[in-house]
Amino acid sequence: MSSLPPSSHPTSPLCDWAASTDLPTRHGMFQMHVFRRHEPIEGESSQEHVAMVFGDVAGRGNLPVRVHSECMTSEVFGSLKCDCRDQLDLAMKQVAAQGAGIILYLRQEGRGIGLVNKIRAYQLQSQGHDTVDANRLLGLPDDARTYELVPEMLRHFDVPSILLMSNNPDKAQQLRELGVAVNGVVAEVGRTANEPARKRWIAVVANLLRWRLPVDQFGLLGPKTVTIRQGTAMKFGVVRHACLLGC
């Protein structure tokens, strides 16, 4: 794998490729690419965003791609309030199993509200408010994440179309509106739905944020993967899980 950016790519309007290296992981050898946003935006913990690339992705259509937002509390400190660490690990495992794919790791902590506001919201949750009400009490949106870097990052790798690894229908819609050819959605399910500390958040996310999962045929416990191509008729059930690749 080369650590140099393709010379054919001009400077992008929002971000530039900055560096890369081979990175051995428990799921195999990934190549870690760092992109730097030109201007900081509110809610981002850093202007540096990451693409974890597995295998030969250049020019490959319908590439499995996970767009994942940073979650320090779960991924670094093992918080049980969400399952972001589990889902990131599962996504890496699935990408490696497919032989090629990309995980875009965006530095937008707390569904885009930033770490300070996320911890303030956690404190309100400890007083009995749910995750959505806590955001609203702070005058913050339910979900402030944006995905405008995604088309530029995918363009850097010459990826013409993707299969999005997510159970969040709004994420797929936002990406399509940004010009990303999302030709299908890969719903993935981990094994953390029954963690007692997550059950209340599970119910809130299911009922208010409406992340979805094809529960009628595939159940809630896995891990399982199912590809839902655009235009395919399939009955969806409401997610009974905390985050389920919605993060």
CA-based nearest residue to 21, from 30, 10, 12? 30
Classify 157 in phi/psi space as left (phi over 0), alpha (psi -120 to 50) or beta: alpha
Is-cis flag, bond preceding 223, omega within 30?
Answer: yes
Q: Is 198 a catalytic residue?
A: no
CA-based nearest residue to 160, from 61, 13, 68? 61
- Which residue among the candidates 37, 130, 143, 198 is catalytic per the annotation? 143
Please report the beta strands in the chain, taking only residues with DSSP state E, as ranges in sequence order.
Answer: 15-25, 28-37, 48-54, 63-69, 101-106, 162-165, 182-189, 212-213, 224-229, 237-238
- Which residue among the candidates 145, 198, 210, 212 is catalytic per the annotation? 145
CA-based nearest residue to 243, from 208, 170, 172, 193? 193
Greatest pairwise CA separation for the chain in angstroms? 54
Which residues, including other chains, have CB under 8 Å from residue 171's CB and lie 6 or more apart? 67, 145, 147, 164, 246
φ/ψ (deg, to 5) at 228: -110, 100
Task: Indicate which residues carry an active-site annotation.
Answer: 143, 145
